[in-house]
């Protein structure tokens, strides 16, 4: 366990292109030259934006039915937005990494990551999630859940700005035909399907399932 955590921390501290080989990682795409940028994490700076105590993040965790004690946040300059499976002595199961440079813009992208935690909980981990859906459906599912979060608890924020900030979670590469997050149009459609979804009385996990079964096909 300790070894796993040490390896994870080492990865977070020293790797810039974090996700390509990580088993429990979502959001593998890095944009252009930024993939080679060094990550500068200060020792002891674990959650510089204090997302653990952020009101919006906590409201969304409650909406999504997530236990806050199972999630830890790790931010530093240049770090990407990703969700990892982890195992530490505090009992956390997931580590969400974020770029501290994004400041308040990080909120929307981290909410996309919380959508991944909903998926991982519901489908029983990354391997079974990936067996069930291709990456693009997983990513658009997280954008859809961010739309649900926007509609139900964050709707005083500017819709357009929030929608754009979600895209910090994974970068769109125009030249790539293998982009795992979907192009901006697909991402906007998935997010807006969440914002304007009328079936809002179910759990986040059930809404996500409904997205995959009935809504995803509407995205063009």
Contact footprint for Zn ion (CB under 5 A): 26-27, 139, 142
Which of residues 117 and 195 has its CB atom nearest to Zn ion in the complex?
Answer: 117
190's tokens: 């998935």
Phi, psi at 84, each rounded to 5°: -120, 150
Closest by CA position to 141, among listed 164, 171, 120: 120
Q: How far is the CB of 113 from Zn ion (least distance, A)?
A: 7
Which of residues 3 and 80 has its CB atom nearest to Zn ion in the complex?
Answer: 80
Q: How far is the CB of 112 from Zn ion (least distance, A)?
A: 6
Q: How far is the CB of 180 from Zn ion (least distance, A)?
A: 8
> How many other C-beta atoms lie within 10 A of the C-beta of residue 94?
21
Q: How far is the CB of 98 from Zn ion (least distance, A)?
A: 12
DSSP state, residue 40:
B
Q: Which residue of the chain is nearest Zn ion when measured via CB? A: 27
Q: Which residues have a Cβ under 8 Å from the Cβ of 212 and sit 6 or more positions away?
A: 133, 137, 141
Which of residues 43 and 181 has its CB atom nearest to Zn ion in the complex?
Answer: 181
Which of residues 118 and 142 has its CB atom nearest to Zn ion in the complex?
Answer: 142
How far is Cα 4 from Cα 9, in angstroms, rounded to an integer?
9
């Amino acid at each position: 366990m300790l070894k796993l955590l040490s390896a994870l921390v080492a990865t977070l501290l020293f790797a810039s292109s974090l996700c390509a080989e990580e088993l429990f990682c979502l959001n593998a795409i890095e944009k252009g030259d930024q993939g080679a940028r060094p990550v500068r994490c200060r020792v002891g700076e674990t959650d510089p934006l204090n997302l653990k105590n952020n009101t919006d993040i906590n409201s969304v965790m409650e909406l999504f039915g997530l236990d806050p004690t199972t999630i830890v946040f790790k931010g530093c300059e240049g770090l990407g937005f990703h969700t990892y499976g982890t195992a530490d002595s505090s009992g956390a199961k997931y580590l969400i990494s974020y770029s501290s440079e994004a400041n308040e813009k990080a909120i929307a992208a981290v909410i996309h990551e919380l959508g991944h935690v909903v998926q991982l909980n519901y489908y029983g981990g990354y391997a079974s999630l990936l067996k069930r859906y291709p990456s693009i459906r997983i990513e658009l599912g997280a954008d859809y859940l961010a739309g649900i979060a926007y509609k139900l608890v964050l709707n005083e924020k500017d819709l357009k700005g929030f929608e754009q900030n979600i895209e910090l979670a994974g970068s769109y590469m125009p030249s790539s035909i293998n982009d795992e997050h979907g192009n901006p149009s697909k991402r906007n459609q998935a997010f807006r399907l969440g914002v304007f979804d009328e079936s809002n009385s179910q759990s986040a996990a059930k809404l996500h399932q409904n997205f995959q079964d009935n809504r995803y096909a509407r995205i063009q």
